[in-house]
């Protein structure tokens, strides 16, 4: 499933390196995650004879929705209905479920507006405008500054721009670093925070085939659910929403969504860091998480329910990373990256002026990989909080930092603690989403053990953290002793500021305080010795590319709105032709092929209404559109900008898309628009809801 | 489950460090895995007023059976019946199962002798005598020798002693290193290699509760199965076998079996190596194995069947290691080890003569830990073959080494390739046990990826091994191209010697040849810079202990016959009193408590005969006997030397038993003798078989 886990965004920070594809300007493949203010008009004209009609891009942009929990979606009615994937809605489904009502598993349907269930901490963003602020950001930095000074000055300039924009427009305002510093754009969003669940199918059909079928094709998944955005306690009135449309194989389609992260221009040195250090560390950690969650879930049905969304997310990330590392371990793929880099460097070296201006970038980027390697463990454990895996610890750290950051001028604050981001921070901090002591305890015990393993049991910092106890003993003390489960206590501490934090005897607050100097120090090291140096070096590479290829390139994904294009098309795998579409009727055959056993056991509703549905209704399809994690829930559109499907996955071959797009086999997997309506009407008896869609 | 996986014995070699417990001579707890030629007569007299009757020890020794696949057992009839655990027999059950007959899952019962199924590569050993050969071994080494020379000389002396004994007696002859070089004893075994399966229950009751209940208590498992030893194609006539007896809580019981490995006298430095390096590396690898096997098994029912025994073994090892590392990460346990070591060193330092003779041992052992840390990765990947996880690769390596070792004089050969060990080697090498291409491929792909991760993708050796391919591509080439699945081809290569190996174009033979110089080099480094140095240093510590405490200590476990003692006794856990015995009737309640769902779903036979069994029949019980992995299948005996139960597990609290025995909570878990007969008679309709037992 191609969505992002938010916590993972933090955890994989060490891998962050945004980039552009040096080949992008010239390829005729359906490649690219294009900026809405720099669309591939020429390519679309050449390959598909398509020109954007007037209003098309604004309409699509304002119909597209970002789920801040890690996915995409779209407005599909004037009455505020938002369509996304079940697995994007899962975060909310999990949080509103209880031991009595497991909506995550059983599905949900609000037959009346009054039954719609409010999400506890969900924020949706709808892009309103993009402004190029590259000059303003770069003005803050000058050549005399050290990397350290430059980082702070740049961050300050960005915070100020965001704050000014928020004050002026009232819109959420984020400055996005594109082309690794080649450009800075200010994105302004309309924000919705009163989001209610309307309908979700059963997990068994939303994720039919489970982990074994994940990232595979053919597929038969109804990975969809519906929310509704509210304003002032009433369904939001939506001007731009998508109408249902049609498409057919080989016809041009678009994907408008929020790809999370790609690394296509990463230098070979950076890719080798991912291959040899970051990837293996992350995979070991994900395996550890999966095993821990499995064992936890096995103990009882309630524990299984509590852990299910975490477990899914972990398995999903693991399979995705497994595919990525597999790509980097394939000499053919790495060979292509090496050849491309070599060719680019040869061109630069051939021109003395370019050589002086840009030729040193690769050496700089080799050095930063070395720093990454040196600090990876320390960073992941402390600042990435892999040593303190617990929602309550995250809350404690946020409170500790909030108190400290609040005392600084806005432009000097850590990212995430500035005034422009305050509302979003509080939405999460004061969430009433359930926190389960037993899961917290299991996670924290395991991660304190991880910390001991990584630091060594004799390390003074480890001993200070463990405080003379075993991981299990220390975790029990921390989780048992904290009061941070109470939202009122969080508010008290947040409002009490530094004084309240200093006076707090909460053991988790004390732990977060105790390790914060070390965590901040390693973060500073990353920012100053890696992030800023890489920004400047990649900016050089990007400039070289602009010079050589013009601006007809796309930047690497940044969890901001992008447009991809392609067509519905099968592919070959191991000599077999994979057909692009499946049908709803085929679902029953696929289940039978696997003995109708979990995870191929269909829900009762499907068995019951087997004869009601039209078996030929298209169910899932693949397209050549270029997507990545974060695109989950993105609408697939036809030439007319009408909704024809919803992205929910990529095939196994798409996973190397992090580094390289290959049209031969890379495919995005979608639920077909027709299947959503057919199941709402025939299986879920939700004809009225189906009728509301598109109107 | 407290058994050893044979391949793991190889893999954890870096952790090997045999030791004695400095406290052992003085404790009054039921501690110790005692040598049959140095039994704790005084302790038994004092605590239990027990003296061994004449003939008791010889009878028990000759009734006890070692399963070379990694467990223990006992003769239970004059007609060759051998009782062990289902999970010890599992290796054979897996090997004789097919897609049509899954005996591992469904159970097995030979109603006539003709239906008894021959194990494909099982060797049983029955200890006949022990001879102290310490002087002969030590004579080969002198003070002028370097550690390297000493290692070779000692190994040569051992090989010669074994060969001479084999020639003289015809018995399998192994020199066992005890007290880490404090003593060397020659063990002579009667060997049985025609072993046939007679009866096994269903997996669902043998491993009732599955991984979640593993190493837990209370339990309800019928973890038992029956083999029969044959000689000359007829049931072996057995003089020493166990008769059924009775016992009761608090009465003295014994365990006669083959504990695999403990590390109780490991120095604190060695324990920290285990805690910080060996354990975490192994656990990461086991998690990786478990995830890989799970994903493989999910794909189809047949793949699930093929992987089931590997998966069980991996999960079992992981849970055991998890408990061990948990113990070492507990400051209380490590604190005890530190205090004990400090006290011993103080005593030695207080006596100038002892200080000169033994005082330097700890420094030496700190140095060897440093070497272990340095070579761990290289050793595990190459010599431990974690980079080449595949039965076919193991076969290829054995063939390559066999050809080379055969050209050397017996005393210079690698352990395992000497003449005394030849028969056992060939039993395994020429086994017709099924090898599944798809599992081989999956394992080898994953482990080549592991190799790349550990060495780094650019490492010249890694590139040589991968030969320009991805892990998946290279594994396909190796597994697809080898002919080593055919036993005839293995024989041809073994008999053809060095010439045949040189001429072979088999890709796996070529790979094994190619990496052998590097693998041997790292092995040599371990043997010379670690094993021999540690042997000498631990021998000093052992001598110091002998001087201070006499010889009333037991050596660390060595997968050789030991006697433990204790009594059936409950314990306290988290304030709850755990009662020592469960009943067969309780099984149904335990299943119901877990919704009768897998792994708590009872087999049909149990439901069917629920009303036939006497519900009060004791089923499982715990005792204070000191056991560890390898003890699985060991008979539990009463004062009269009669069979009262069979060890199959230890509780969670026993897992730290690798380092320290604590009678308060450490418990061995057994199947009660009565339950075995009751289920044979009432559930499996095997009354005749039940009647044969004990006669």
State the pLDDT confidence band at A265, using cuts at 50, 70 and 90.
confident
Mutate to test the interface with A, among B214, B272, B277, B287 (most CBs of A within 10 A): B287
Beta carbons of A329 and B457 less than 8 Å apart: yes
Is 70 exceeded by the pLDDT of residue A291? yes
Interface of B with A in 435-454 (CB under 8 A): 449, 452-453
Q: Which residues of chain B have pLDDT under 50?
A: 7-27
pLDDT in tens, A420-457: 999 999 999 999 999 999 999 999 999 999 999 999 99
Q: At what angle do helices A437-455 and A301-328 cross, to 10 degrees?
A: 40
Q: What is the pLDDT of residue B15?
A: 37
d(CA B360, CA A470): 31
Question: Mean pLDDT for chain B?
Answer: 94
Chain B CB contacts of A288 below 8 Å: 284, 287
Beta carbons of A275 and B332 less than 8 Å apart: no
Interface of B with A in 576-605 (CB under 8 A): 594-595
d(CA A555, CA A18): 7
Mutate to test the interface with B, among A281, A287, A296, A447 (most CBs of B within 10 A): A287
Q: Which residues contact A131 (CB under 8 A, 6 or more apart)?
A: A185, A186, A188
Beta carbons of A326 and B284 less than 8 Å apart: no
Is 80 exceeded by the pLDDT of residue A14? no
Mutate to test the interface with A, among B207, B273, B291, B297 (most CBs of A within 10 A): B291
Give CA angle at A613 (A608, A617), nearest 5°: 140
Of A272, A280, A468, which has the smallest distance from its Cβ to B458's Cβ? A272
Burial class, A106, CB count within 10 angstroms (exposed 0-12 / middle 13-18 / buried 19+): middle
- If you measure CA to CA, which chain B residue comes closest to A301? B594
Contact of B326 with chain A, judged by CB distance below 8 Å, is answered with yes
Of A298, A457, A458, which has the smallest distance from its Cβ to B211's Cβ? A298
Chain B CB contacts of A284 below 8 Å: 284, 287-288
Contact of A307 with chain B, judged by CB distance below 8 Å, is answered with no
DSSP B235: E
For B644, list phi and psi in degrees, rounded to 5.
-125, -5
| CB count in 10 Å sphere of residue A432 | 9
Beta carbons of B334 and A457 less than 8 Å apart: yes
Q: Which residues contact B106 (CB under 8 A, 6 or more apart)?
A: B202, B203
| CB count in 10 Å sphere of residue A168 | 10
Q: Residue ranges of the alpha helices (H) in A274-300?
A: 279-298
Residues of chain A with pLDDT > 70, as a percent, come to: 96
Interface of B with A in 328-367 (CB under 8 A): 328-332, 334
User: In sequence order, what are the beta bridge partners of A126?
Assistant: A190
Beta carbons of A331 and B453 less than 8 Å apart: no
Mutate to test the interface with B, among A281, A292, A329 (most CBs of B within 10 A): A329
d(CA A189, CA A170): 9
- If you measure CA to CA, which chain A residue comes closest to B473? A330
Contact of B470 with chain A, judged by CB distance below 8 Å, is answered with yes
d(CA B345, CA A213): 60
For B507, list phi and psi in degrees, rounded to 5.
-65, -30
Closest CA to B113 of B146, B78, B79: B79
Q: Which residues contact A167 (CB under 8 A, 6 or more apart)?
A: none
Is 70 exceeded by the pLDDT of residue A665? yes
- If you measure CA to CA, which chain B residue comes closest to A269? B458
Beta carbons of B449 and A325 less than 8 Å apart: yes
Beta carbons of A288 and B284 less than 8 Å apart: yes
C-alpha distances (whole Å) from A468 to each of A474, B330, B334, B625 are 8, 9, 11, 31
Of A298, A325, A332, which has the smallest distance from its Cβ to B212's Cβ? A298
Contact of B212 with chain A, judged by CB distance below 8 Å, is answered with yes
| CB count in 10 Å sphere of residue B273 | 24
Beta carbons of A329 and B295 less than 8 Å apart: no
Beta carbons of A470 and B326 less than 8 Å apart: yes
Mutate to test the interface with B, among A297, A377, A457, A474 (most CBs of B within 10 A): A457
Is 50 exceeded by the pLDDT of residue A592? yes
Beta carbons of B211 and A295 less than 8 Å apart: yes
- Minimal CA separation from A293 to chain B, in Å: 12
Q: What is the pLDDT of residue A12?
A: 34
- Minimal CA separation from A652 to chain B, in Å: 14
- Minimal CA separation from B330 to chain A, in Å: 4
Beta carbons of A331 and B466 less than 8 Å apart: yes
Chain A CB contacts of B453 below 8 Å: 276, 279-280, 325
Q: What is the pLDDT of residue A26?
A: 46
d(CA A304, CA A286): 18
pLDDT in tens, A385-403: 999 999 999 999 999 999 9
Beta carbons of B470 and A318 less than 8 Å apart: no
Question: Mean pLDDT for chain A?
Answer: 94
Beta carbons of B470 and A326 less than 8 Å apart: yes
- If you measure CA to CA, which chain B residue comes closest to A281? B453
Of A330, A456, A470, which has the smallest distance from its Cβ to B276's Cβ? A456
DSSP count for chain A of H helices, then E strands = 27, 21
Rg (C-alpha) for chain A, rounded Å, is 25
Of B284, B458, B469, which has the smallest distance from its Cβ to A284's Cβ? B284
- Minimal CA separation from A285 to chain B, in Å: 9
| Count of A-B CB contacts under 8 Å | 94
Chain A CB contacts of B291 below 8 Å: 287, 290-291, 318
User: In sequence order, what are the beta bridge partners of A577?
Assistant: A572
Q: What is the pLDDT of residue B28?
A: 66
Contact of B575 with chain A, judged by CB distance below 8 Å, is answered with no
Beta carbons of A291 and B288 less than 8 Å apart: no
- If you measure CA to CA, which chain B residue comes closest to A594? B300
d(CA B589, CA B294): 29
- Minimal CA separation from B337 to chain A, in Å: 15
Beta carbons of A453 and B280 less than 8 Å apart: yes
């Amino acid at each position: 499933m191609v969505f992002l886990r938010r916590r993972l965004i933090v955890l994989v920070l060490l891998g962050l390196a945004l980039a552009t594809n040096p080949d992008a300007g010239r390829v005729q493949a359906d490649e690219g995650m294009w900026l809405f203010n720099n669309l591939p008009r020429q390519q679309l004209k050449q390959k598909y004879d398509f020109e954007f009609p007037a209003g098309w891009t604004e309409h699509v942009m304002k119909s597209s929705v970002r789920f801040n929990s890690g996915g995409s979606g779209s407005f599909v009615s004037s009455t505020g209905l938002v369509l996304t994937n079940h697995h994007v809605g899962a975060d909310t489904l999990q949080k509103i479920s209880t031991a009595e009502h497991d909506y995550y598993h059983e599905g949900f349907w609000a037959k009346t507006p009054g039954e719609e269930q409010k999400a506890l901490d969900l924020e949706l963003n709808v892009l309103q405008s993009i402004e190029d602020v590259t000059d303003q950001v770069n003005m803050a930095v000058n050549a005399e500054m050290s990397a350290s000074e430059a980082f702070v000055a740049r961050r300050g300039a960005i915070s100020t721009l965001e704050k000014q924009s928020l004050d002026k427009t009232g819109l959420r305002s984020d400055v996005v670093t594109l082309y690794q510093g080649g450009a800075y754009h200010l994105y302004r969003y309309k924000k919705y925070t009163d989001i209610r669940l309307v309908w979700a199918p059963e997990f068994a059909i939303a994720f039919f085939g489970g982990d074994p079928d994940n990232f595979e094709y053919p597929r038969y998944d109804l990975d969809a659910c519906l929310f509704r955005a509210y304003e002032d306690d009433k369904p939001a009135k939506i001007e731009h929403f998508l109408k249902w449309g049609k498409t057919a194989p080989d016809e041009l389609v678009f994907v408008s969504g929020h790809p999370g992260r790609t690394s296509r221009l990463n230098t070979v040195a950076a890719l080798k860091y991912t291959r040899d250090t970051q990837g293996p560390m992350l995979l070991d950690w994900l395996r550890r998480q999966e095993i821990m969650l499995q064992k936890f879930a096995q103990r009882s049905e309630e524990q299984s329910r509590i852990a299910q969304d975490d477990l899914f997310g972990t398995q999903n990330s693991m399979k995705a990373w497994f595919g990525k590392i597999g790509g980097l371990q394939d000499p053919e793929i790495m060979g292509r990256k090496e050849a491309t880099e070599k060719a680019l460097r040869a061109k630069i070296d051939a021109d003395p002026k370019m050589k002086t201006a840009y030729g040193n970038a690769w050496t700089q980027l080799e050095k930063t990989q070395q720093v990454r390697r040196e600090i990876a463990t320390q960073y992941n454990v402390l600042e990435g909080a892999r040593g303190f895996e617990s929602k309550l610890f995250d809350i404690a750290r946020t409170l500790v930092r909030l108190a400290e950051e609040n005392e600084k001028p806005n432009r000097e604050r850590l990212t995430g603690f500035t005034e422009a981001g305050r509302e979003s921070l509080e939405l999460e901090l004061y969430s009433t989403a359930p926190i389960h002591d037993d899961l917290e305890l299991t996670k924290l015990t395991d991660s304190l053990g991880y910390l001991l393993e990584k630091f060594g049991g004799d390390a003074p910092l480890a001993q200070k953290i463990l405080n003379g106890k075993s991981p299990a003993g220390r975790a029990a003390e921390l989780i048992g002793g904290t009061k941070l489960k109470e939202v009122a206590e969080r508010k008290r501490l947040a409002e009490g500021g530094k004084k309240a934090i200093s006076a707090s005897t909460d053991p988790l607050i004390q732990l977060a305080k105790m390790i914060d100097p070390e965590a901040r120090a390693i973060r500073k090291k990353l920012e100053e010795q890696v992030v800023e140096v890489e920004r400047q070096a990649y900016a050089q590479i990007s400039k070289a590319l602009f010079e050589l290829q013009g601006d007809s390139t796309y930047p690497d994904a940044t969890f901001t709105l992008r447009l991809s294009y392609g067509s519905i098309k099968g592919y070959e795998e191991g000599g077999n032709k994979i057909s692009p579409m499946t049908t709803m009727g085929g679902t029953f055959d696929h289940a039978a092929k696997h003995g109708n056993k979990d995870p191929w056991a269909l829900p009762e509703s499907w068995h019951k209404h087997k004869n009601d549905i039209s078996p030929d209704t298209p169910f899932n399809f693949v397209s050549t559109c270029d997507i990545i994690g974060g695109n989950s829930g993105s609408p697939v559109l036809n030439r007319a900008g009408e909704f024809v499907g919803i992205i929910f996955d990529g095939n196994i071959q798409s996973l190397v898309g992090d580094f390289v797009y290959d049209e031969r086999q890379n495919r995005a997997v979608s639920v077909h628009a027709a299947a959503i309506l057919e199941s709402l009407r025939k299986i879920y008896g939700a004809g009225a809801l189906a009728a509301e869609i598109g109107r």
